[in-house]
A and B are shown apart, each in its own frame.
Chain A
């Protein structure tokens, strides 16, 4: 207890000194010492501008320092962008990068203050008062916010937390053996750490609550089993009180925990605190920084010269929507230039010029951007920063009259804006067909981008045309940056997806029906968009029918009661509609609709739609006929309980989210693993599928391999935008731009992405191996393919797009057990084969 008291006293004195040393004021206060913050500070220091950097962590650059693995290779993407900074940065290991920055700090005499968390910014431009968590106040004329997006690690704030045995993350569980370890927390990361460590160590979990219901169900089950089997000890209702050096020889530190049973002292060699991170949005809202909308993924509004909506507060780095180190450093530098009153051309000027130069009547970047804003009304209101990035990431595409832009089955890989000419849409690609026409300013590819659906229509250039093609992430970012654009895109999407559903009603032989997209405008303007979690009810069997539903994202299962048991009848995936048959035929709901995954569903008023349909008697007739046929089929199906069970399985295991799933018929699989060998052999020695792992139902086995989801989670948070959907529908990772951050590995719910060092496959000579046993056996994974220095990249199934014979796993299956197919095809195959379980 004496030592604890002493520590308190030390803190008090330290604080007093800190306050007195900071009474001076600065021209600029920089919050955060990551790449953007450091670069800003370096420029300020170089120019002799009075500055201070405030860092909440005890060391610089929390993300690189703390979240990156030791020895991680840091890339300097985008390669064509020049570095403009007073601090050094080049491709290298995490340690080299940090070392260079530390040298810059010393050499430029950057004024840094650690362990200082930002609490509030008061005052206005020219006279800000920056208040820190410990109560200190710093005066500054301008503030540069470079706090990134990783959030602040939540600390316990208990005495002794700075003990070296306390950590907030786990580097490598396999390195720890025979240690006493305390894990504080009951979330997923705490559980995952505890379980990984429990194999070789004595682990105690401190859970503030009585259960693990905050965690994923699988994690919760795993830790409860481990606790029951006494592999992990758990103190429920435990509140950590303090950490102190252990007096005994047995451990490094003692943690005192208050629990229902009173105070307990637990000795430990390592204390891992997993209490989550503080969300940034809350902090930013409290700082008065404006956001374009409520979307969690939205970035703050940033104007000319990186200024936020609060005058005098500048935002740079990944918080400004720029997650790459080099760009962030450029922004830091430029922000100081702007604060100093120098308007400079952004560092990406050359890149923009490269994109825009081929334009007819090109006069310069500035003029071209103005023209672009004029031509494409949707982007008229975006800020310069967003627009520049949008253009930088884009590419011009020139089409001659009659050129096919896309055709049914294609996936568009982003948004294309028409800058010149016009594009006609038609159902059959027939030049004589009457069709709808998009002209200058219209955007194409919205449905495909938003829902991950293949195109179902032909798009053909009606005259010589110029389009600006933008990959998905840059497009999404643009949409999220301005509320109005997001709304407009949502509306456009709804209108087009209604059109799509409407077109699906057309009889096959009817190509002359004149359908105008605009007539759906009124219906689209008056829809309700339901955002539902997995397992939520949309409507119940037997309820009234008043609406249609179209799935924008996610999937829905339709089930029906049979003899008191609910049986899944259908899986509806993104882009499809449901609840329509009852409306065409009249009557109450035939099924209960429940979401399978997190879904966004468009709800349309039935009467309005029917009123419009009445204008097209032939289509109405066809729709009714279709619905009747469907109903007949279903009556036969309802006795097939096996089909219902397999649909249930596909639903449960998330197979329904995939567009192209690897399935193995276990009644044919001879377990030879030739599929894995084929995959390894065609992908640099490392198999991207795991046959043994995965889910099984009856004889249907779904191994762990990429399913090329409609709405891929891997794609959601890829800093260099290296993951994209290819025109053929496969989700591919661009190995050249992947920076190996591992976000996709963490985000994929099916565990199909892996990080591997760029393999150096030794060539294998089949005959010399067969005849003389020389070299590596074909398909054999080699563990010594890399030297350990090569950078890691994310890899996963690429559907063997480069192989004329299709996916190697399927092509190399001797018995025909392996196939790649879509979930609905799979149900059909299952029905056809009459498999019994």
Chain B
């Protein structure tokens, strides 16, 4: 653990960042500029220059991350410094502007910078918490193995369902089809899939329900699924509910019990898979904010500097 980017070099970069903040605050406290504190004083210019250099260096991380050869310091070190110096910018930037905010490009640049830093902090939080959650969730397996397990369960369940009767078989087949669509390997569409997940449950339950009533083999108490307060998170559970209903209307044979067990097992796997996907996408999603924001900050910074010197 003490090898992580947080602990890197015995918190060397935290110490540097804290030192930088401390010196800035001290100078800010003792400095007595003409007029209110602002970027216009010698201290304002100094802090501004340091801040701007740090921003450019922070953005350079995107380039460094992709340089795989001929680099001296490890990426872990870079990230450690990136995190702590980035956080220090909150202090340096704020002191640089002397708490002067207005409706202008300067404040926009400041806001963008703060948003970037905040999104970065969310990233740090995710980086520190989610890896452990992923391991805790799927244990020694990985998504691929889970998928393989589900495939196996599907096959067994379908075989058992076939032995029960053609209706249950059809339902099972339908359910497998639905979850198959869900389980497609996630890539860039992962966010979209997640958003659609709730929709699919509704669709699935509706479809299950319709096909039940249309065929009218057994009358199902109308609100069984949809009225449940805790809506099932997964189409598998929907199916499981239906089959439970079915089992009330006929003798709950051994086969049916086996099928239910399998479906529950699968629901647990799907839940894990789903969580895994959520966790993995969280590790990436914050970057979709952090990177554009940091580029926007860079652009705003350039405009800010040009306008300061122009006027």
User: Which A residues are within 8 Å of any B CB, using their own CB?
Assistant: 225, 229-230, 665-672, 674, 677-678, 681-682, 692, 695-699, 766-767, 770, 777-779, 803-805, 808, 810-817, 819, 832-833, 835
Contact = CB atoms under 8 A, between A and B. Distances in A.
Contacts of B135: 666-667, 696, 698-699
A699 B136 CA distance: 9
30 contacts: A665-B3, A666-B132, A666-B134, A666-B135, A667-B132, A668-B1, A668-B4, A668-B131, A670-B126, A671-B131, A671-B280, A674-B75, A677-B68, A681-B68, A682-B68, A682-B69, A696-B139, A696-B140, A699-B135, A766-B66, A777-B66, A778-B66, A811-B74, A812-B68, A812-B75, A814-B65, A814-B76, A816-B3, A816-B76, A835-B1
- For the complex, would chain B's binding face be called helix, strand, loop or mixed by DSSP majority? helix
B62 interface: yes
Contact of B76 (A672, A697, A770, A815): A815
Nearest to B61: A814
B62 to A, nearest CB: 7
Given A672-B283, A814-B75, A817-B4, 14 more contacts: A230-B159, A665-B3, A668-B131, A671-B283, A674-B65, A766-B63, A770-B63, A808-B69, A812-B68, A812-B75, A814-B79, A815-B79, A816-B8, A816-B76
B166 interface: no
B75 A808 contact: no
A700 to B, nearest CB: 10
Contact of A813 (B76, B134, B139): B76
Nearest to A767: B63
Name the residue among A667, A677, A779 with the largest chain B CB count within 10 angstroms.
A667
B66 to A, nearest CB: 4
B4 A832 contact: no
Contact of A229 (B1, B68, B130, B152): B152
Given A668-B131, A814-B65, A805 B72 contact: yes
A805 B3 CA distance: 17
B188 to A, nearest CB: 14
B68 A778 contact: yes
Nearest to B144: A692
9 tightest A-B CB contacts, nearest first: A681-B68, A816-B76, A778-B66, A696-B140, A833-B1, A816-B3, A678-B68, A814-B79, A667-B132
Contacts of B184: none
Interface range for B: 35 or more
B100 interface: no
A799 to B, nearest CB: 15
Contacts of B155: 229
Contacts of A833: 1-2
Contacts of A666: 131-132, 134-135
Given A668-B4, A699-B132, A816-B76, A770 B66 contact: yes
Contact of B62 (A770, A779, A810): A770
B176 to A, nearest CB: 15
Interface in B89-136: 126-127, 130-132, 134-135
A810 B3 CA distance: 12
Contacts of A808: 68-69
A665 B144 contact: no
A70 to B, nearest CB: 30
A819 B5 CA distance: 13
Nearest to A815: B5
B71 interface: yes
B67 interface: yes
Interface string B55-92: 00000001101111101101110110000000000000
Contacts of A692: 142, 144
Given A682-B68, A692-B142, A816-B8, A832 B74 contact: no
Nearest to A681: B68
Given A670-B127, A692-B142, A816 B69 contact: no
B280 A810 contact: no
B255 interface: no
A814 B7 CA distance: 13
Given A670-B283, A810-B74, A816 B132 contact: no
Contact of B134 (A665, A671, A681, A812): A671
Given A699-B135, A814-B65, A816-B4, A670 B130 contact: yes
Contacts of B132: 666-667, 699
A699 B1 CA distance: 11
B79 A779 contact: no
B65 A665 contact: no
Contacts of B66: 766, 770, 777-779
B15 interface: no
Given A667-B132, A699-B132, A816-B5, A229 B76 contact: no
Contacts of A804: 72
B156 interface: yes
Name the residue among A225, A671, A677, A835 with the largest chain B CB count within 10 angstroms.
A671
A767 B67 CA distance: 10
- For the complex, would chain A's binding face be called helix, strand, loop or mixed by DSSP majority? loop
A667 B283 contact: no
B54 to A, nearest CB: 19
A805 B2 contact: no
A362 B94 CA distance: 81
Interface in B1-17: 1-5, 7-8
A44 B250 CA distance: 86
Contacts of A670: 126-127, 130-131, 283
Name the residue among B7, B68, B144 with the largest chain A CB count within 10 angstroms.
B68
Contact of A669 (B79, B131, B140): B131
Contacts of B74: 805, 810-813
A697 B65 contact: no
A698 B131 CA distance: 12
Contacts of A671: 131, 134, 280, 283
A763 to B, nearest CB: 12
Contacts of B67: 766, 778
Name the residue among B69, B139, B280 with the largest chain A CB count within 10 angstroms.
B69
A811 B3 contact: no
A779 B68 contact: yes
B71 A815 contact: no
Contacts of A778: 66-68
Contacts of B283: 670-672
A805 B71 CA distance: 7
Interface string B7-37: 1100000000000000000000000000000
Interface string B158-177: 01000000000000000000
A677 B142 CA distance: 20
B142 to A, nearest CB: 6
A665 B1 contact: yes
A231 to B, nearest CB: 8
Name the residue among A668, A681, A810 with the largest chain B CB count within 10 angstroms.
A668
B144 A811 contact: no
Contacts of A229: 152, 155-156
A810 to B, nearest CB: 7
B4 A815 contact: yes
A51 B101 CA distance: 102
A699 B130 CA distance: 12
Nearest to B66: A778
Contacts of A672: 283
Contacts of B156: 229
A777 B63 CA distance: 12
B86 to A, nearest CB: 14
Nearest to A668: B4
Contacts of A682: 68-69
Interface in B140-158: 140, 142, 144, 152, 155-156
